[in-house]
Structure 1
Amino acid sequence: MFWIVDPCVSELAGDARQLSPSAQEAIRLRAVAALVAGRTRQDVAAVFQVSLKAVDNWWAKWLSGGREALVAQPRGRRVGEHQVLDAAEQQAVRQAVLDHRPCDLGLAGQLWTRAGVGDLIAKLYRVRLTEPGVGKYLRRWGLSFQRPDKRAVEQDAEAVRLWREETWPTIRAKAKAEGGEVLFADQVGIRSDQVTGRTWGAKGCTPVVRRTGNRFSVNAMSAISTKGRMHFMVFTETFDADVMCRFLERLAGHLDHKVHLVLDGHSAHRSPTVRAWLAAHPDRIELHFLPPYSPELNPDELVNADLKRSQPMHSRARDQAQLAAETRRFFHRRQRQPHIVRGYFGGPHVRYTLE
């Protein structure tokens, strides 16, 4: 009787210590299968190029635990085993990073880095970790390195809460009862020398974007609704009460129902000229003002960000007229993309408008 060896086995033969765990597992299982089939210990050891002791150990494991005793087991320490910081200490550091700035805890800076977190750990527990070691803890805690949002220190948290929970629901209910529509509005400026975005280039050699050296700018005001509608006006003069009234005139002319316009507390929005216009058109437009220093509550701020991010990447304007035309093309393009306009309301800080 001849014993035909699987070709895969010959590939696994050799010094088993140099093989992968899965390959070692395959040798053990095939060796035991050969013993079950009636082969002698010596034959199996010779074919698989292992010692008799190894064959005996595999056979003993097979008899005591079956196939499960021969499969590969995870190597090394289990996740979380023998860590420098225990669970309570890790939770304390994680919460400190989430709730405080470094300067709040007697450290340097306002943003957390791996070195900063390492300094905090050293300050609290007299343990100094390497930056890669700190990075492993941060990832294990579910944290990632991000660009933070900015908030004005003058912002009133209670005013923001009242806006979300009381003022906004009241405005929405009033507009619905009147058969009107709520729009969020804001103004933005675009400069010819603004460069944003990234491009590919050779390492160590910063790419150059060639554009006009003349400096000019245009301004725009837009208003958007949760239904995906957008209204805008591009202008070159400074934004003031007269420009605001012109925008209100255009907005009222485009709609056949009352508009509840939500915007920030810019001085032009509250000027006597604008108040007089509103008093003369009480059934056309009503203004509502966001809490002070709270631009993140306005979905139209995301329109501005979208404009400033996409416009410089495609701009070839050589003068103010061309820049104004490119800005109008951006808004016309977005007017034909209501799904993108609706998407502005899905941002984490403005999602309250949909709830």
Structure 2
Amino acid sequence: MRYPQGGGLTAERRAFRERIRMEAAGMFAAGQVNTVMAKQLRVSLRSVQRWRADWQDGGRQALQSKGSAARPKLSEALFTVLEQELARGPVAHGWPDQTWTLARIKTLIGRRFHKTLTLSAIAQMLHRHGFSHQVPARRALERNDDAVTGWVKDTWPPGGSAAAALDGWIVFEDEAGFSMTPPTSRTWSRRGHTPVIRVRGRSRGRVSVAALCCYRPGERSRLIYRYILHDPHGGHTKAGRRSFSWTDYRDLLSAAHQQLGAPLVLVWDNLNTHRAVSLRNWVAEHDGVTVVQLPV
């Protein structure tokens, strides 16, 4: 591979090639012919011819590695600064969305370091430093990480104890909407670290799915779900909704309770429908369902 990661030879690869050339120098001194050398060294005949011309002009020293072909325009120290700026996100630098493109990175380099690089040079530099072009993950703007930490510490332990006391199932519920159009935008980030962009925690998908992930010690896990298919021309369900109503959740929980045959400790978020008065009254009237609400 001549240009690993699109960014020139590594030090190890340069050293390997130099060993091949030094071996060729010994074969030149021994009087071997080019065609035999090319076969033994597993290189092209043209390479052997070029090495022989250099060897005749300057000896073994002419075949030694001269190091990297060119020094990078951004030093390691400057790239560290660039990585910090990239981590701040495009919005912090005045762009309207949260994806990095080569053109934006080029502009950022010009603003921050007063240097000009071509788009291909920027791509090679990013690849050399372990970056790749990725589809980012999505995280809701409404998420409050401090509230989540407090919930895990204070609220959830009683919920887990309730499931054990009732000999019931711990049930995690969530819903999602899906469209038939896959995401197309990508952004640059270090390989192995999927970038995350902040988006509205709502969906206008053509298919809505609500699912229960059910767990109890000594039992295999269960997945119980319901889905709604929306009109392909942008219409709604028969009830005039694009999402589940409180009666849909009621029916899903009733079916799960009947199928599992044991009390449910339900963990779900603060979706408006989850907090509907009718649904809360129904839960209060049924001893088989205990609700643990996730943090707002």
TM-score of Structure 1 vs Structure 2, range by shorter chain: 0.5 to 0.7
Which of residues 272, 283, 287 is equivalent to 1:278?
A: 283
User: 2-side partners of 1:230 and 1:250: how far apart?
Assistant: 12
Alignment of 1:126-141 (within 5 A): 126-141=114-129
Which of residues 257, 265, 288 is equivalent to 2:262?
A: 257
What TM-score do you get using the length of structure 2 for normalisation?
0.61
Greater strand proportion: 2
Q: Which residue number corresponds to residue 139 of structure 2?
A: 151
Alignment of 1:1-355 (within 5 A): 24-32=21-29, 54=56, 57=59, 74=65, 76-77=67-68, 82-98=71-87, 100-107=88-95, 109-188=97-176, 194=180, 220-225=209-214, 227-234=220-227, 237=239, 238=241, 239-282=244-287, 284-292=288-296
Q: Which residue number corresponds to residue 312 of structure 1?
A: none
* Cα separation, partners in 2 of 1:144 and 1:290, compared to 1, 3 Å: farther
Return the index of the structure with the highest Cα Rg.
Answer: 1
* Cα separation, partners in 2 of 1:190 and 1:124, compared to 1, 3 Å: closer
- Structure 2 unaligned spans of 5+: 1-16, 33-47, 185-205, 229-236
Greater helix proportion: 1
User: 2-side partners of 1:55 and 1:118: how far apart?
Assistant: 43
Identity %: 24
CA contact (8 A) 1:185 1:223 kept: yes
User: 2-side partners of 1:145 and 1:266: how far apart?
Assistant: 34
CA contact (8 A) 1:182 1:260 kept: yes
Partner SS state of residue 159, structure 1:
helix
1:139 deviates by 1.8
Aligned residues: 225
1:118 deviates by 1.5
* Cα separation, partners in 2 of 1:220 and 1:133, compared to 1, 3 Å: closer
RMSD over equivalenced CA pairs, Å: 3.8
* Cα separation, partners in 2 of 1:144 and 1:274, compared to 1, 3 Å: same
Per-residue CA deviations over 1:67-116 (Å, capped at 9, x if unaligned) read xxx9x7555417xx722222222111101111x22231245643211111
* Cα separation, partners in 2 of 1:246 and 1:132, compared to 1, 3 Å: same
2:90 alignment partner AA: P
Partner SS state of residue 225, structure 1:
strand
* Cα separation, partners in 2 of 1:73 and 1:253, compared to 1, 3 Å: farther
1:253 deviates by 0.7
What TM-score do you get using the length of structure 1 for normalisation?
0.52
Per-residue CA deviations over 1:307-330 (Å, capped at 9, x if unaligned) read xxxxxxxxxxxxxxxxxxxxxxxx
1:30 alignment partner AA: M
* Cα separation, partners in 2 of 1:257 and 1:77, compared to 1, 3 Å: same
Partner SS state of residue 150, structure 1:
strand
Per-residue CA deviations over 1:214-273 (Å, capped at 9, x if unaligned) read xxx775432113654111234664432222222221111112222122222222222222
CA contact (8 A) 2:21 2:64 kept: no
Per-residue CA deviations over 1:13-57 (Å, capped at 9, x if unaligned) read xxxxxxx9777544423345579xxxxxxxxxxxx9968x84994
CA contact (8 A) 1:182 1:261 kept: yes
